[in-house]
Amino acid sequence: MFHDDSRDWWRHAAIYQVYPRSFADANGDGTGDLAGIRAKLGYLHDLGVNAIWFSPWYPSPMADAGYDVADYRDIDPSFGTLAEAEALIAEAHAYGIRIIVDIVPNHCSDAHAWFQRALAEGPGSPARDLFWFRQGRGGQGELPPNDWQSVFEGPAWTRVADGQWYLHLFASEQPDLNWDNPLVRAEFADILRFWFDRGVDGIRIDSAAMCVKDPALADFDRTSPPDLHPFVDRDEIHDIYRGWRTIADSYEVPRALIGEVWLADTERFARYLRPDEMHAAFNFDFLGAPWEAKALRACVDATLASHAPVGAPSTWVLCNHDVTRTVTRYGRAETRFDHALRQARHRLPTDPALGLRRARAAALLTLALPGSVYLYQGEELGLTEAEDLPGAVRQDPIFHRSGGNDPGRDGCRVPLPWSNDGASLGFSPAGAQPAWLPQPEHWAGQTVAAQQADPDSMLRLYQAALALRGAEAGLGDGPMTWLDSEDQVLAFSRPGGLTCVVNFGEDPVDLPWHTDLLLSSAPLTDGQLPADTAAWLRTG
């Protein structure tokens, strides 16, 4: 299943993101669990993925869907036990599937033992120095220590009973850790070893560019931040990941470090991918790019150019647990994605048929590009964003902290539809409690069972494309060559004689010379490639 040297699997892999709460529920409590995932490993093997990335599965009060971690060395009881996680890792390996777990270093949960100790021991204690506790401003310390704002809206400071304030760049239940404290660094080094020793093949690093803060905690203008940002991409952060790389490389088969790095500056982004730091980082420029030939080509070129000097593989992703699902986004007049625009675009008109057609073409484009690819659960089913969730069921802190103005991310986190069994479409067994988020009624026609039986379904397209990708030595990491094409067409070749052609225009276009049509996202029209369609051709 893997390309060439298994030590470099991360350079080529097709990686599937599992959001545990919403993948499959085995015990009937309405929440996905490890037993449900283990029962579906055969499905993921048959889909053709090389690795699974798990969103946080740790004990958590779930103030931010598990990214508020209370214990980094255990499994949340709603998901199962540590022994079940170890069994899952072993069973996945038996299928030839590697495992990536989420590590959240910027913050933990306010229920974490460290933070509870910090509250109990009070100002000036060593426990408080593990976080960013400060006195407030104003005559009685009644004002926050500075003007920093949370990523989730509102102040980035919360006051505790003794009058001090603590920093949280996300929700108030997620206190930021102080990475200037060597105890924090030692703790995470041990956490990495804990999971690597249990067979985990790599880690995905959440909010990887935000751990280090300006110790002066200076005010700044959010609309025009300084060149050296107070808490994003500070130079000192690279020492952390060089230390982690040493740990990852100490294993007989080195473990992979994959970063969530949101940076507009491609040169600074590439610094995280130097040979002694991370192996790979998510390509959010591609995820947010509009469905336009010129924009996507520019994004591909910029991505390859920024990765080449550091020898890192590119990564390609269309969707994840934080963004609007691809079918919904591509069905709108404005097809870009930006977190800042989510509120304005929520419930804008979308054409799901057009979105699905484009998402099918985008799948073939993405899987043909050089490097590794990430597939968010449900994208292989062509699921739409669940935009009509009632406010009463929404759980994302973004929704609540914005007073409901921002819909948040719950719409892409709705439990998967497996079959037409029961009220939860096979997500839970018969007689189960309702799923933790309700599924759209129209998903009844998009279940795994329905799509397995339909040779023209999105699922069958992904299965075919991933099978070809695994069989073609020229796919995955490696060179690509752009071919001359019309303005609204992208065409490129990969080693071994495979060519990918994507038509972004309104009219059908002629295909280049080829010996075989290997796969297309929609049927050809009189031998031509229709609008919003992609094809893989044998040209050599």
- Report the C-alpha gap between 61 and 57 in whole angstroms: 12
Would the pLDDT of 4 be above 50? no
pTM of the model: 0.95
Contact 367, 469 (CB under 8 A): yes
pLDDT tens-digit series, residues 123-138: 999 999 999 999 999 9
Kindly state the average pLDDT of the residues 74-102.
Answer: 98
Residue burial 449-483, b: 16+ Cβ < 10 Å; e: rest: ebbeeeeebbbebbbbbbebbbebebbbbbebeee
Would the pLDDT of 524 be above 60? yes
Q: Is 445 exposed, middle or buried (0-12, 13-18, 19+ CB in 10 A)?
A: exposed
- Report the C-alpha gap between 325 and 44 in whole angstroms: 20
Sign of CA dihedral 510, 513, 514, 515: positive
The set of catalytic residues is 206, 260
Residue burial 182-210, b: 16+ Cβ < 10 Å; e: rest: eebbebbeebbeebbeebbbbbbbbbbbb
pLDDT tens-digit series, residues 297-324: 999 999 999 999 999 999 999 999 989 9
| Greatest CA separation for the chain | 79
pLDDT of res. 338: 79
pLDDT tens-digit series, residues 346-395: 678 999 999 999 999 999 999 999 999 999 999 999 999 999 999 999 99
- Report the C-alpha gap between 233 and 240 in whole angstroms: 12
User: pLDDT > 90: what percent of the chain?
Assistant: 89
